[in-house]
Amino acid sequence: MYYWSFIILSDLIFIFLNLCQIYFFQIKYLELLNLFYELHIFDVFDKLFKRTIRSMKVTQVIENSIRGKLDLEFIPLIPGIFSVELYDNEIYLFRWIPEKHEPFDLAKSNFQEAQVYFLLHQIQSIHISKEDEHKIFLRFAIPKLPTSVRFLFTNESIKLIDQCIEYLKNSQLIYVNPNYPHIYNVKVKCTRSFIFPSDYISLSQLICFSTHYSIFRKYPLPKMKKSKMSLSNFNSYVYKDGKISKYSKLQRRVFEYGMNDDIRPYVWSYLLGYYQSNYTNDQKKEEEEKKFLEYKDLLSQTQSEIQFQYDCNQIKTIIRNDVARTEKSDSFFKDLDSLARKMMIRILINYNAYNKDVGYVQGMCDLARPFFTVFIKDITDENNIKIYNDKWVDRDHAESLIYWHFVGFLKLGGQEAMFSSMAENQMFFAERAFAIAKNNHPLLGQWLIAHNLSDLLFLYSSFLLQFKRYFPMNQILQLWDAIYSSDNPSVFLRFFVAATLFILFPYIASSQSTDNGSIMILVGNTLDKIDIKEIIILSKQLYMNAKENPAQSEWYFMELPSPHERVTNYPKYFKLKTFDS
């Protein structure tokens, strides 16, 4: 009944236009609709029109898993309104408005209730299929995306869709594919931009989101069987003589469940190679003294008069400026002239002299900063610094403690190798992190390739500094617990980067700008809102899955090229100019 009423009313309007000497063939169908709006004629039968096409419903197509194509789960059939509109005689806009819709919210993942738009010139082809006289499917293929969304129309709506397709064909906007008569290729081009309201999502975003969440459901958050390692748990692994029993089991426990803050300095001393697990208490004291004497030797050399024609003023200035910019979130670094800042400057200058191949790289102070949180409890003056075990030591002993943990951290985590050959090793790392992401989330990989982001330059500083600048301190410590308790810290970081890409994908796919700079800013604004535990758990799942299939993932686990041999005509310790730190 509604359908015939609509037809009769359309005929009356047609007669009206003829009487005004406006020939129907001179007015495009979509322009006619715009004219209705301008004359307020459309208001008369607006409700009638919506009722007529209320039976239009949307679902997603299921495609076979052939050659890497993805299966998409059905979205429940949702009633709504499908419309085609013309803007400025050039932009053809399709809109889908669910009957019960709400603005899209990434946090809610409510893409099923979102309003969807797409432009004709963004479509590669339109696929039409009729199951019977009461059902017609329209499927819109988007370039560079592996699947598509299809819309289902029934009953009276079919005639309207037929008219729409006929109009597009007669307007030479689409043409029949010569090999497949049910496919219409789109040939319209448009150079103009179109900005749509933020509460809509594009068709390509709908595909990205639905595909992403169907993949993401394959990695459910596991139920924790045990709590984080506590001090009593740790002590159960320590013999009376100080040796660690079943160190690999302890390491595995930390990797799977994490640890409490109070035992972190004790565990890190083993994870970062400061102690060996078979050291007795006496051997630990000997090792501490040995490392302290070596640090004192290095310290005396960096503070003595220079013996070689080598000027460290530039490096010293860079380090001082970097440390001056260090966050002021705790009392240690609140004052620019604090003892903690002076200690950090000296530690970094000593590292620059200790490892000539690496030297000092801007941002290293960010990596050194957490070691003060972990190992230092209080700083009174140069002779009274309280360390993690409540022992009071002088400045040199405190610096030695932090310095050697920092050295082990850079070496085991791959930063030493990364810093020694930045361009080459950055590419080496990024290629593997991208491959892990792409092979576990093909659409993510295709999206990054399509937008020239597969080199991961937008995450460069993130993995170079192990995400120190992107998460609060307590979360960074949890991340580093996971990295350094893994059996291969430098490799595990690649899986964390891949997992980060997983989590970020809906956000970057929503971005209006996809250049490296814009995505880098988006990443910085997004990561601090994400719970790092989710990324760590996903990283572990990807990591363990890869280890279970070594034949397929051997390439992921390749070690970074070793740093070049130290230049033989320079000693291990460099004598720098004397200065007050």
Share of the chain above pLDDT 90, in %: 42
For the entire predicted model, the pTM comes to: 0.76
Asked if residue 148 lies in contact with residue 216, where contact means CB atoms within 8 angstroms, the answer is no
Q: Which of 361-370, 469-478, 503-512 has the lowest mean pLDDT?
A: 503-512
Predicted pLDDT at 188: 79
Q: Is the domain defined by 421-574 classed in CATH 1.10.472.80?
A: yes
58 or 195, which is more confident: 195
Q: Which of 30-34, 164-168, 294-298 has the lowest mean pLDDT?
A: 30-34
| Highest mean pLDDT, choosing among 33-42, 46-55, 135-144 | 135-144
Question: Does pLDDT of 308 surpass 90?
Answer: no
Fold of 62-217: PH-domain like (2.30.29)
Give tens-digit pLDDT for 98-134: 777 777 777 667 777 777 888 888 888 988 888 777 7
pLDDT band, very low/low/confident/very high, at 146 (cuts 50, 70, 90): low
Instruction: Take residue 459 and report the two structure tokens written for it.
Output: 């995450």
Question: Does pLDDT of 48 surpass 60?
Answer: no
Sign of CA dihedral 492, 497, 501, 507: positive
For residue 308, count CB atoms less than 10 angstroms from its CB and return exposed for 0-12, middle for 13-18, buried for 19 or more: exposed
pLDDT band, very low/low/confident/very high, at 373 (cuts 50, 70, 90): very high
Question: Does pLDDT of 464 surpass 60?
Answer: yes
CA atoms within 13 A of residue 27's CA, in its CB half-sphere: 16
Q: Which of 33-37, 172-176, 191-195, 350-354 has the lowest mean pLDDT?
A: 33-37
Asked if residue 6 lies in contact with residue 52, where contact means CB atoms within 8 angstroms, the answer is yes
Work out the mean pLDDT of the chain and round it to a whole number. Answer: 79
Q: Which of 197-201, 231-235, 426-430, 446-450 has the lowest mean pLDDT?
A: 197-201
Question: Does pLDDT of 285 surpass 60?
Answer: yes
Predicted pLDDT at 200: 75
Q: Which of 140-144, 177-181, 349-353, 411-415 has the lowest mean pLDDT?
A: 140-144
pLDDT band, very low/low/confident/very high, at 197 (cuts 50, 70, 90): low
Distance CA 194, CA 500 (A): 31
Q: Of 380, 396, 378, which Cα lies nearest the Cα of 388? A: 378
Question: Does pLDDT of 90 surpass 80?
Answer: no
Q: Give the number of residues written for the chain.
A: 581
Question: Does pLDDT of 354 surpass 70?
Answer: yes
Predicted pLDDT at 51: 34
Q: Of 158, 123, 154, 124, which Cα lies nearest the Cα of 59? A: 154
Task: Give domain limits for the chain.
Answer: 24-56, 62-217, 231-413, 421-574
**Average pLDDT of the residues in 430-457:** 93
Give tens-digit pLDDT for 540-575: 999 999 999 888 888 999 987 765 543 333 333 333
Predicted pLDDT at 23: 33
Question: Does pLDDT of 270 surpass 90?
Answer: yes
| Highest mean pLDDT, choosing among 17-21, 184-188, 205-209 | 184-188
Give me the residue label for tokens 């030591």.
Answer: 393
The 384-387 sheet, strands edge to edge = 376-381, 384-387, 392-393
Fill in the DSSP letter of residue 63.
Answer: -
Q: Which of 287-296, 392-401, 427-436, 520-529 has the lowest mean pLDDT?
A: 520-529
Strands 149-154 and 392-393: unpaired
